[in-house]
Structure 1
């Protein structure tokens, strides 16, 4: 069985609001736990009218409180937006409230545009460049305190919260390998370097006290339905969302359409389809073939399913199909 997990952006739907998004997130998490998903992650984004998971650690706490066994974490926290001590305290608090269930996935992108990133950080100087040092500092805060250590994360010290590195480049792959950390590749929206990043990570991996061999997670969009046509229709909400981002006109997640013809130009279509090429779309048989091919290609230890689907019931059905197929791979 291939391990399978779920990434949720807590989408804000056109005609709805963030409060409903949070109710949908909690409901989806409860179902995911029953369907055997390994972990449920939420992603940090800012100034995005269609994404409600900006205060990621708070939402993680709500999901953890509403479930019992599934691991809950971030996919990811954008560390350059924060002081490592602040994140250590937040996730140390979560780990204290929910022992053994909290995980911390880290990215070095802003999770926003540059103007918003500046509003978050006040300065962009050295924020991404110091990422490796910040990861090590954060990891140390979760370790046992050392004699004479003057700054500690309280809560946090001694919790040993598991840390993942996330990325869409060779930089993150090399860093995860050097630090002996599990690695998640963001192929669900940036697939170009997937094969090269996995090869780099595996080739350069150095065992650590927390991980003896490489563990690679591959992001894949899932738009599963009873028929191929229904799955393709579900995907049009995500296609519209990516198109809006490319046009710098982000908004709430839009309802699906029968066809994208007339909505995008040929060049835009090529750009969006390339970004979303790591997707399993259609009937259970079509999804099974796509996931099987991706597994054979990547030898992934785990799939992280994402799915920006407008209708909540259809979203539940899609992830249920994906879980059933992943269990059999």
Structure 2
């Protein structure tokens, strides 16, 4: 029996003291090495206005990665369609699929719509605190409140820069339907006029939906018979809800006869548990920079992280992410990933690793792949 596929999600992290050029070249180098190590797919995230993350244009990066590799699937994790039109997305990924047939994944996310919805939301009443639980060995922490991030002036600035003045993104389900129709070649508007995406129409792009809860993305992916990626590394508190909602809603499609779930995890692997913990130490301050509303800082070195101020409030702000990061030797982390796979019934795991030194990140992925396939 072959092992469950392992794949990679890359944010093209910018190391403290490094440059965007370093980060992007490191991404291409890591993709080559990932292919050599047997990883199944290589996804690029979409992040904006963050000094520590260079993956703001996933389609461009996908082209670079696909050109530098031969067989590994390459895709987006995820294109935020609330910032785009369905046609622009289909044309971009149709171009990629024409150049690299059989290898392109189009992951779609609804963060763009979520930004607009958040600006209109009335704050919900304070809910009773939820306790952490351990489900068959997997930590499910209390949910994190994004109220502080949503209230940040920088969040509003980001939303303004990502949308044309006065633009309102269509509902996510409508955009997904438009993407699928344009790919199939049967798109028509309300007046019955047809439109054909060139490139795009008839391409073999594989469409995915990504989600962090049991809400619209999970349910829509199931209803459409699409594969689904659930984010344990971003929203560990709701990963089980997301997977359950997807499986409950699943209807067979031409693409997938049965549900297919990828679950993500943050991972750092080194030769020993102690060495891995040292490399992972900057993760808490890095997550703090995101959740404070200022955007991801360049990823610090362990020495730089140790010198940063750190309070009990900071620890609480990032506890769910730090406590669910899998850190240790390859054997230690593989045991943790097996638990994640068993509890979530994942068909595939998507691992993301950030360290200050590129060589340490490469080694982490290589050690993990070797142990996983052992």
Query: Could you say which TM-score interval applies, normalised by the shorter chain?
Result: over 0.9
Partner in structure 2 of residue 307 of structure 1 = 353
CA contact (8 A) 1:236 1:257 kept: no
Q: Which aligned runs of 4 or more in structure 1 are off by greater than 4 angstroms? A: 123-126, 145-149, 258-262
What is the CA–CA distance in structure 1 between the aligned matches of 2:10 and 2:109, rounded to whole Å? 16
2:196 corresponds, among 148, 152, 161, to: 152
Q: TM-score scaled to structure 1, two decimals? A: 0.94
Partner in structure 1 of residue 338 of structure 2 = 292
Measured after TM superposition, the shift of residue 267 of structure 1 is: 2.9
Partner in structure 2 of residue 114 of structure 1 = 156
What is the CA–CA distance in structure 2 between the aligned matches of 1:40 and 1:270, rounded to whole Å? 32
CA contact (8 A) 2:101 2:204 kept: no
Partner in structure 1 of residue 367 of structure 2 = 321
Aligned length: 327
1:162 is the counterpart of 2:164: no
Residues 262 and 23 of structure 1, relative CA distance in 2, 3 Å threshold: closer
Measured after TM superposition, the shift of residue 264 of structure 1 is: 2.1
Measured after TM superposition, the shift of residue 106 of structure 1 is: 0.7
Residues 41 and 295 of structure 1, relative CA distance in 2, 3 Å threshold: same
Structure 2: state its 5+ residue gaps.
116-153
What is the CA–CA distance in structure 2 between the aligned matches of 1:76 and 1:255, rounded to whole Å? 28
1:85 corresponds, among 84, 87, 92, to: 87
Residues 285 and 146 of structure 1, relative CA distance in 2, 3 Å threshold: closer
Single out whichever of 235-244 and 134-143 deviates more from structure 2: 235-244
Measured after TM superposition, the shift of residue 95 of structure 1 is: 0.4
Describe how 1:1-329 pairs up with structure 2 within 5 A. 1-110=3-112, 113-123=155-165, 126-127=168-169, 130-145=171-186, 150-171=194-215, 172-250=217-295, 251-257=297-303, 263-328=309-374
Measured after TM superposition, the shift of residue 125 of structure 1 is: 5.8
Measured after TM superposition, the shift of residue 69 of structure 1 is: 0.5
Measured after TM superposition, the shift of residue 160 of structure 1 is: 3.5
What is the CA–CA distance in structure 1 between the aligned matches of 2:34 and 2:98, rounded to whole Å? 23
Single out whichever of 281-290 and 34-43 deviates more from structure 2: 281-290
Measured after TM superposition, the shift of residue 20 of structure 1 is: 1.1
| SS of equivalent residue, structure 1 residue 308 | coil
CA contact (8 A) 2:187 2:194 kept: no
Residues 231 and 141 of structure 1, relative CA distance in 2, 3 Å threshold: same
Q: RMSD across aligned C-alpha pairs, in angstroms?
A: 2.0
Residues 284 and 29 of structure 1, relative CA distance in 2, 3 Å threshold: same
Rg larger for? 2
Single out whichever of 118-127 and 242-251 deviates more from structure 2: 118-127
CA contact (8 A) 2:355 2:361 kept: yes
Partner in structure 1 of residue 145 of structure 2 = none
Structure 1: state its 5+ residue gaps.
none
Measured after TM superposition, the shift of residue 313 of structure 1 is: 0.7
